[in-house]
């Protein structure tokens, strides 16, 4: 297979949704139909004690939620698929936003009963801002939910994007029997799920005009389907790939990830329509995936995927050129030449050493602490630098220190590694050697931090909540002692030694700003500021 053919067959996408919309479950079922696993584990199944393969952290298995992005690869129907399964919980939205930087498209899950929820709106806005084409999967069709026409209208009104149904549910709300494929004009009826979604669902396919389907469905349901199809054809939007690419139209599918209802038709249609790797804007130039000069973007770092070895895996999205095992590349941020040995691809914790990889692929490499999130690797004549990731201002703060001072070394190592992952932001106060000020986007991040430090580094924490909710960065040229109104504030340094002011609330911050009109207080640090 030629280099260009390898690039063309890549599909790299993120799955996004509000919590509990079924994101991890859909990921499992895509793996099931892709042949990557033979028996799906349900996140909610307590009887069988199975857990989703994409949830590899122990805390994820216990809580039944995803708290970090998972990277999963498999082949299906000639395509090489890279799935980025993101956390749905808003407390981990920063990890989700970074992961979207590595995706060429996104699958947006919507609970058919709840419709468009708060976190879905935020994630949709990020995708739209980045120009990521969005495909919609209306999930949980095995439960009672909104009328499909009402759901389409809600997507258009709430998200401001037109929706074009690629298939349509057949039957009565809560008791749907199958789906109609609008592109191929075929009906697919699904057998009753007897395996609780652990195995592939059998189905019967055929033409909508086949008398057999009219007999199976009954005259009323069959006629209702005919009427719905006619209404969609006359009054609905037509599929237009250019509009999908422009973020003006979302192809919409109906199904149930839990029971596998409609999963295979969605997968096959999505792979047919989803974009192959797209060009990326670097600071110097546009980087095309077809370029033979290698470049990659570090979008995620994960410490202790193997707790026994305290390894540190850097996940990178290959943007151009062919990756080969053992190749030496330039790390743009440090200027160092790095040899990328033991490159790995993942099915959650299952790792496979890879000899080569192509644009669109996600690979992991071991790192001793040189690389950071947002860094660029490249080689060849054209040296490029991809833009920094945005830093999200933390809203919750705590002073964290080890209970046992004898474990200070493990504490510092753990805090530094988890901060490099982007799990939390850490700040330091001058002359405070045994504690860190930790900032987080959500309170659940503190729980995960405490859990991981205990289980991965053997450190129990003392956690003292601080009365601040606002962080502001100020330039190094500013004399902190000259700023008026900081009596109740805390002045700290971030991981790049930039000065940050922590203050109680927005009202207090506005008051400080009014008293210091000549000073610029930044919500996030300047990008590319070293």
Q: What is the pLDDT of residues 53-75, one digit of tens each?
A: 444 445 444 544 443 446 788 88
Q: Which two tokens stand for residue 229?
A: 């199809």
Mean pLDDT, rounded, for 168-194? 81
Cα 179 to Cα 229: distance, rounded to the nearest angstrom: 11
- Give the whole-number percent of the chain exceeding pLDDT 70: 82
Q: How many CB atoms lie within 10 A of CB 143?
A: 13
Q: What is the pLDDT of residues 228-263, one digit of tens each?
A: 989 998 888 889 989 998 889 999 999 988 888 888
Q: Is 325 annotated as a binding residue?
A: no
- Fold classification of 280-378 is Elongation Factor Tu (Ef-tu); domain 3 (2.40.30)
Q: Is 22 annotated as a binding residue?
A: yes
Mean pLDDT, rounded, for 482-504? 89
Cα 457 to Cα 412: distance, rounded to the nearest angstrom: 10
Burial of 61 (0-12, 13-18, 19+ CB in 10 A): middle
Q: Is 338 annotated as a binding residue?
A: no
- Give the whole-number percent of the chain exceeding pLDDT 90: 30
Q: Is 260 annotated as a binding residue?
A: no
Asked if 80 and 360 count as a contact pair (C-beta separation under 8 A), the reply is yes
| Average pLDDT for the chain | 81
pLDDT at 530 over 80: no
Q: Is 486 annotated as a binding residue?
A: no
Q: Is 20 annotated as a binding residue?
A: yes
Of 244-253, 271-280, 303-312, where does mean pLDDT reach its minimum?
Answer: 303-312
**CA dihedral for 453, 459, 464, 467, sign (positive or negative):** negative
Quote the pLDDT of residue 166: 95
pLDDT at 206 over 90: no
pLDDT at 427 over 70: yes
Q: Is 87 annotated as a binding residue?
A: yes
Q: Is 55 annotated as a binding residue?
A: no
Q: Is 89 annotated as a binding residue?
A: yes
Quote the pLDDT of residue 136: 95
**H or E element at residue 306:** none
Q: Is 310 annotated as a binding residue?
A: no
Q: Is 140 annotated as a binding residue?
A: yes
- Predicted structure pTM score: 0.76
Mean pLDDT, rounded, for 457-467? 91
Here the contacts of 175-184 (C-beta below 8 Å, separation 24 or greater) are 176/141, 176/142, 176/254, 176/261, 177/216, 177/217, 177/221, 178/203, 179/254, 179/255, 179/261, 179/262, 179/265, 180/208, 180/225, 180/229, 181/265, 181/269, 182/229, 182/232, 183/239, 183/269
Q: Is 290 left (phi over 0), alpha (psi -120 to 50) or beta?
A: alpha
**In this predicted model, which residue has the larger pLDDT, 287 or 184?**
287
Mean pLDDT, rounded, for 442-464? 85
Q: Is 300 annotated as a binding residue?
A: no
Contacts of 523 (CB under 8 A, 6+ apart): 393, 472, 473
Q: Is 282 annotated as a binding residue?
A: no
Q: From 3.30.565.10, 3.30.70.3280, 3.40.190.10, 1.20.1250.20, which CATH number describes the 396-522 domain?
A: 3.30.70.3280
Contacts of 483 (CB under 8 A, 6+ apart): 474, 501, 512, 516, 519
Q: Is 274 annotated as a binding residue?
A: no
Domain(s) of CATH 3.40.50.300: residues in the chain: 3-273
Q: Is 21 annotated as a binding residue?
A: yes
- Give the per-residue SS3 of 422-488: CCCEEEECCCCCCCEEEEECCCHHHHHHHHHHHHHHCCCEEEEECCCCEEEEECCCCCHHHCCCCCC
Through-space distance between the first and last CA atoms of the chain, rounded to whole angstroms? 42
Q: Is 19 annotated as a binding residue?
A: yes
Domain(s) of CATH 2.40.30.10: residues in the chain: 280-378
Q: What is the pLDDT of residues 22-46, one digit of tens each?
A: 777 888 888 887 775 544 443 333 3
Domain(s) of CATH 3.30.70.3280: residues in the chain: 396-522
Q: Is 45 annotated as a binding residue?
A: no
In words, the CATH class of domain 3-273 is alpha beta
Quote the pLDDT of residue 40: 42
């Amino acid at each position: 297979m030629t280099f260009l053919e390898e690039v063309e067959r890549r599909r790299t996408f993120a799955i996004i949704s509000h919590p509990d919309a079924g994101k991890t479950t859909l990921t499992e079922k895509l793996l099931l139909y892709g042949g990557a696993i033979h028996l799906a584990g349900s996140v909610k199944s307590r009887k069988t004690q199975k857990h989703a393969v994409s949830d590899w952290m122990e805390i994820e298995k216990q809580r039944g939620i995803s708290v970090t992005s998972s990277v999963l690869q498999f082949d299906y129907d000639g395509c090489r698929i890279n799935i980025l399964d993101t956390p749905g919980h808003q407390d981990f939205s920063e990890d989700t936003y970074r992961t979207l930087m590595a995706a060429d498209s996104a699958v947006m899950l919507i609970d058919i009963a709840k419709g468009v929820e708060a976190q879905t709106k935020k994630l949709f806005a990020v995708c739209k801002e980045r120009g990521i084409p969005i495909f919609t999967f209306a999930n949980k069709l095995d439960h009672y939910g909104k009328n499909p026409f009402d759901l389409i209208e809600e997507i258009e009104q709430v998200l401001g994007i037109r929706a074009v149904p690629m298939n349509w549910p057949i039957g009565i709300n809560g008791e749907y029997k199958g789906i109609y494929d609008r592109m191929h004009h075929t009906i697919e009826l699904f057998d009753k799920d007897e395996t609780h979604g652990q195995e592939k669902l059998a189905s019967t396919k055929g033409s909508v005009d086949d008398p057999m389907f009219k007999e199976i469905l009954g005259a009323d349901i069959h006629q209702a389907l005919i009427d719905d199809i006619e209404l969609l054809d006359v009054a609905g939007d037509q599929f237009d790939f250019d509009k999908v690419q422009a973020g003006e139209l979302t192809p919409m599918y109906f199904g149930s990830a839990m029971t596998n209802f409609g999963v295979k038709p969605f997968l096959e249609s999505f792979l047919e329509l989803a974009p192959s790797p797209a060009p990326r804007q670097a600071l110097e130039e546009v980087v095309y995936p077809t370029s033979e000069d290698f470049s990659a973007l570090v979008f995620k770092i994960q410490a202790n995927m193997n707790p026994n070895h305290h390894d540190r895996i850097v996940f990178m999205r290959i943007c151009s050129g062919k990756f080969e095992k053992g190749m030496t590349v330039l790390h743009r941020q440090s200027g160092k030449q790095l040899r990328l040995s033991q490159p790995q691809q993942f099915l959650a914790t299952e790792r496979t050493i890879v000899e080569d990889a192509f644009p669109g692929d996600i690979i992991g490499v071991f790192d001793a602490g040189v690389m950071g999130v947002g860094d660029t690797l490249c080689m060849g004549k054209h040296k490029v630098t991809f833009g920094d990731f945005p830093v999200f201002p933390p809203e919750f703060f705590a002073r964290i220190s080890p209970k046992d001072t004898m474990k200070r070394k493990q504490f510092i190592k753990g805090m530094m590694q988890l901060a490099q992952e982007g799990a939390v932001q850490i700040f330091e106060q001058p002359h405070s050697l045994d504690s860190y000020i930790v900032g987080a986007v959500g309170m659940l991040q503190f729980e995960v931090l405490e859990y991981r430090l205990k289980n991965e580094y053997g450190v129990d924490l003392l956690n003292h909540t601080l009365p601040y909710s606002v962080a502001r960065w100020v330039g190094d040229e500013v004399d902190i002692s000259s700023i008026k109104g900081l009596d109740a504030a805390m002045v700290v340094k971030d991981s790049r030694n930039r000065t940050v002011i922590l203050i109680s609330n927005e009202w207090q911050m506005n008051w400080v700003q009014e008293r210091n009109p000549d000073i610029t207080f930044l919500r996030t640090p300047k990008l590319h500021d070293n």
